[in-house]
Structure 1
Amino acid sequence: MRTFYSALWYLLLPFLFLRLWLRGRKAPAYRQRWAQRMAWGYRPGTLKNSLWVHAVSVGETLAAAPLIERLLADHPDTPLLVTTTTPTGSERVKALFGDRVSHVYCPWEVPGALNRFMKAFDPQLVVVLETELWPNLCAAVKRHGAKLMLMNGRLSEKSYRGYGKLPRLVRPMMAQFDALAVQTAVEAERYVALGAWPERVHAIGSVKFDMTLDAALRDSSAALRAQMGERRVWIAASTHPGEDEPVLAAHQQVLGSHPDTLLVLVPRHPERFNDVAAQIRGKGLSLARRSADESPAEVQVYLADTMGELLMLFGTADVAFVGGSLVPVGGHNLLEPAAWEKPVLTGPHLHNFTAISQLLDDAGGLSVVNNERELATTLLALFDDAERCRRQGQAAAAVVEANRGALEKGLGLISEQLTVNS
């Protein structure tokens, strides 16, 4: 089965390069570093006995940041390799860690590329984040003699059903994991059903609960909020195509009752920044762009068209809406605004964050809205009831505090694998 799977990847290579070229029309970084996609040009032995952490894009990189910092501190003599698959993820790695880690793109699922990669970076342990389940990558890791671990693993019901349709490909892959640190007991059962060894699966919670809001971050957020003036502020974060329109329409409804309200709008992907700016102007709303260092003081919409600042931006708002949820993307990280004690709003599409959204909902820290009308109504209700706003924000923050600890448990499992492999 994996032979057929590999052959399909080789056949798709021209189309994958074409896709990069097309995406590069709006995001030029997609037209760069193509050799890394195939692990061409690396010298064997570039690293020796490394620890490899693989994320995908910005979200996984930020979730892994506390883990990577601890690995740097706890294993200072072990070379640390961090890979992503997107330019935005790459930018975050460089911004967060600089030359303290080695960083390249993870190669595609082509056996030859993966073999070249293993010879170059010589991992002793590979830690993949969340749902990075790739049969050829897993096989290459084990063929190299390295340990393989899943960290912060999640598996929605939809994904579980999809993997279950390919048992001859998925079951051998799952059996190759030496340890799986997953978020919930339900997900642990799904991984076991797909072929993971039961004794290797550990439901430890999500490392996303272990984020920290340090003094520098709080100071930056407070300084930006001071520039916004004494008025109501809400944020719509990580929006996708199909969400900016209802978000802006809801904001117009809010402005009808509270004309001094500011919306901080944060599109998920940088190639959409200019299009979203045009949408804002098309609605007749006044606009300031963060990338141009324009003041948010007198405008109706502040477009946060920069990367890596979302956690700081949540601190500026009174209420937070998290996107990827009014359209069937599956939602994004609800815990970042919760950690700031903000009431959290989301759309109904939450299959990537089922457990976390349930915890927040049960605690009274989450409001689910289905459309622009419900979004506007909920915003107005929170703006007009300061006590409700405070209470819902505190309930959200309490969920974050009550569920910390996954990071330490995951680090313990990593140490076990490194000890076994030494």
Structure 2
Amino acid sequence: MPRRAPAFGQFFGQLFGLAYTLLWCLAGPLAFFSARMRQGWKERLGLGKPAPCEIWIQGASAGECALVAGLLEHLPNVPVLVTTCTSQGLDVLSRIDSPNLQSRMLPFDLPLLMGRMLDTASPKAVVLLETEIWPGLLMACAARGVPVIVVNARMTAKSLAGYLFLGPLLRLWAPQRIGAMAPADALRFGLIFGAQRTTVTGNIKFDRAMNTPLLPLDENPLAGLVLRDHPFVVLGSVREQEEPLVLELIRQLREGNSHCVIGLFPRHMHRIPAWEGLLARSGIPFALRSSLHGQAQPGSVVLWDAFGEMNPAYALASRAFVGGSLARLGGQNFLEPLAQGALPCVGPHTRNFDWVGGEIFGSLVFKSASIPELARFLLSPAPPRSEVRAAALTYVHARQGATAASIALIRPYLHRSPHA
């Protein structure tokens, strides 16, 4: 049966639902001025019928959709509908090899559209990943008695302030269970939905981390690129906003060791021409990876314009810098070089990977806003690759198990009739 709120709460809930629907009707058409929002517009409008499923999972971004593969491994033979808000999320889902998975864009958060989706797909439970608190979907689920479970739940202090304003209303349509990444996240969700609904399950991302095998030197396709007695430093996933600082880092690396070969990986390929200009104007010798068929010149930069070679480069590197961290961009994945046994360093901005835990910066990852300090770290002798990887695996394995804990929250709701 649908969950019943007190009459007073029901009245304000209905009033909010009407106002929320009106707001979407007024603002929704403006969304189509965005090229991103026009992608998958038929599904965003709720057109086309999904097949019936046991579970509906919503993950907004590509990063959240990547967690779905781990969940599906624990739910064999369970038909699952996964929705996302981005075309990148759909791309990630298309690479998951599962006959039980169907994917599509999330409809606009109108209670009517969400309700139609629930009636068609008839899931026994709806699973929301991380911060996917959609009032329209929660209202539609509550009206039909479909239980909602939030897994890998996270919430910043800034987001909490906004949700607290709507807290009394959101509690009318509260999820049944919330599995939080960390105690702080559980506390914040508890303030909105009630502490009795929340538990700390850990972060599913740890269960997927470090799963890339160590690439031996004799199997590395880049092995002939650098002389073994010369340092090879990788600057990975460099973003446009930090390019001047990275250029200064390159200068200091070359001053510190004139034989050092630097592998430069821009995060986005369209920045390759810009980097060609920056390096040429700075008088720094460089070669495009696509034109390099032998050993790189000592003291030069290899500007990577080839896809799919980041992991082999990390497996060859003495040490690595991971970008997106010298500007306020949240940082890129510093676990990737650790998986290949290369100690990484980062700038001060690593918000995107706060889930890894601050302890890692005191042992396995060097963090600094100082370009000279980063350069000195990168030119320091490299420890044995096997020891670095083993230490990283120990760190990660101690924090795994969140996928199984999340499935334990979901599974009880599968043994029920839809809308029961």
| TM-score relative to the length of structure 1 | 0.79
Q: Using the TM superposition, give the Cα deviation of residue 131 of structure 1 relative to its aligned residue in structure 2, in angstroms.
A: 1.2
The aligned residue for residue 57 of structure 2 is 53
From 174, 178, 181, the counterpart of 2:179: 181
Matched to 2:246, the amino acid is V
- Spell out, residue by residue over 1:359-392, the C-alpha distance to the aligned partner (whole angstroms, 9 max, x if none): 3124x1222222xxx2453243243222399876
Larger radius of gyration: 2
Q: Which amino acid aligns with 1:417?
A: Y
| Alpha-carbon shift at residue 32 of structure 1 (Å) | 3.8
Q: What is the Cα deviation at residue 223 of structure 1?
A: 3.3
Cα pair 1:38 1:113 within 8 Å, conserved: yes
> Quick check: 2:322–2:334 contact (8 Å CA) kept in 1?
yes
Show the counterpart of 2:106.
106
Aligned mate of 2:278, from 272, 276, 283: 283
Specify which of 382, 385, 390 is matched with residue 381 of structure 2: 385
1-side partners of 2:307 and 2:147: how far apart?
37
Paired with 1:264 and 1:7, the residues of 2 have a C-alpha distance of 50
Aligned to 1:26: none
TM-score by length of 2: 0.79
- Equivalent position of 2:245 in the other structure: 246
- Higher normalized helix content (fraction of residues): 1
Equivalent residue, structure 2, for 1:368: 367
| 1:403 aligned to which of 390, 399, 403 | 399
Q: Which moved more, 1:196-205 or 1:393-402?
A: 393-402
State the distance in 1 between where 2:235 and 2:166 align.
41
What is the identity, as a one-letter code, of the residue corresponding to 1:160?
Answer: L
Cα distance change of structure 1 residues 55 and 156 upon mapping to structure 2, 3 Å threshold:
same
Superposed displacement of residue 182, structure 1: 0.9
Q: 1:147 to 1:311 in 2, by over 3 A?
A: farther
Contact residue 51 and residue 121 of structure 2 kept, 8 A? yes
Give unmatched runs, 5+ long, in structure 1. 24-29
- Is the contact made by 2:222 and 2:312 (CA closer than 8 Å) also made in structure 1? no
What secondary structure, in the 3-state scheme, does the structure 2 residue paired with 1:242 have?
helix
Q: Deviation per CA, 1:71-97: give whole Å up to 9, x if none.
A: 2xxx31x21222222112211211233
Instruction: Tell me the distance in 1 between the aligned counterparts of 2:311 and 2:407.
Output: 24
Superposed displacement of residue 261, structure 1 = 2.2
Aligned counterparts, 1:229-240, within 5 A: 229-230=226-227, 231-237=231-237, 239-240=238-239
Distance 1:401 1:101, change over 3 A: same
CA deviation after TM superposition for structure 1 residue 192, in Å? 0.5
Per the TM alignment, residue 282 of structure 1 is displaced from its structure 2 partner at its CA by 1.7
How far off its partner does 1:394 sit?
Answer: 5.2
Matched residue, 1:164? 164
CA distance in structure 1 between the partners assigned to 2:26 and 2:111 by the alignment: 13
- Give matches, 1:122-137, under 5 Å: 122-137=122-137
User: What letter corresponds to residue 10 of structure 1 in structure 2?
Assistant: C
C-alpha contact 1:129 1:150 (8 A) present in aligned 2: yes
Aligned length: 391
Q: Confirm or deny that 1:62 pairs with 2:77.
A: no
Task: Say if 1:121 and 1:201 are closer, same or farther in 2 by CA, change over 3 A.
Answer: same
Q: Secondary structure at the match of 2:406?
A: helix
Change (3 A) 1:12 1:263: farther
Structure-2 residue corresponding to 1:209: 206
Of structures 1 and 2, the one with the larger relative CO (CA 8 A, separation 6+) is: 2
8 Å Cα contact 1:232/1:261 also seen in 2: yes
Name the CA shift for 1:147/1:167 in 2 (closer, same or farther; >3 Å). Answer: closer
Q: Is the contact between residue 335 and residue 400 of structure 1 (CA under 8 Å) also seen in structure 2?
A: no
User: Aligned-residue CA RMSD in angstroms?
Assistant: 3.5
Q: Does the alignment pair 1:255 with 2:254?
A: yes
> 1:121, 1:219 → 2: CA distance?
47
The answer to whether 1:81 aligns with 2:77 is: no
One of 13, 31, 34 as aligned partner of 1:16: 31
Q: Deviations over 1:187-235 (max 9, x none)?
A: 11111012x2323211121111112655778589953443644451324
Cα separation, partners in 2 of 1:215 and 1:244, compared to 1, 3 Å: closer
1:217/1:312 contact within 8 Å kept:
no
Q: Give 3-state SS (helix, strand or coil) of 2:124's partner.
A: strand
Question: What is the percent sequence identity of the aligned residues?
Answer: 25
Q: Which of residues 27, 40, 53 is equivalent to 1:33? A: 40
Q: What residue identity is the alignment partner of 1:255? A: R
Contact 2:224 2:295 in 1 (8 A): yes
Cα offsets for 1:254-308 (capped at 9, x unmatched): 23334542334252xxxx531x11221121264546xx7986964724446758x
More displaced stretch, 317-326 vs 11-20: 317-326
User: Residue type of the partner of 1:61?
Assistant: C
Shift in CA distance, 135/220, structure 1 to aligned 2, threshold 3 Å: farther
Q: Tell me: CA distance 1:337–1:216, structure 2 relative to 1, closer, same or farther (3 Å).
A: closer
Are 1:248 and 1:280, in contact at CA under 8 Å, matched by a contact in 2? no
Q: Which amino acid aligns with 2:70?
A: P
2:415 matched residue in structure 1: 419
Deviation per CA, 1:162-199, whole angstroms, max 9, x where unpaired? 323443454445xx2111111111211111012x2323
Relative distance call for 1:128 and 1:252 in structure 2 (3 A) is farther
Q: What does the per-residue CA deviation read over 1:132-186, in whole Å, with 9 as the maximum and x for residues that have no partner? A: 121112222333432211111111222223323443454445xx21111111112
What code does the residue aligned with 1:280 have? W
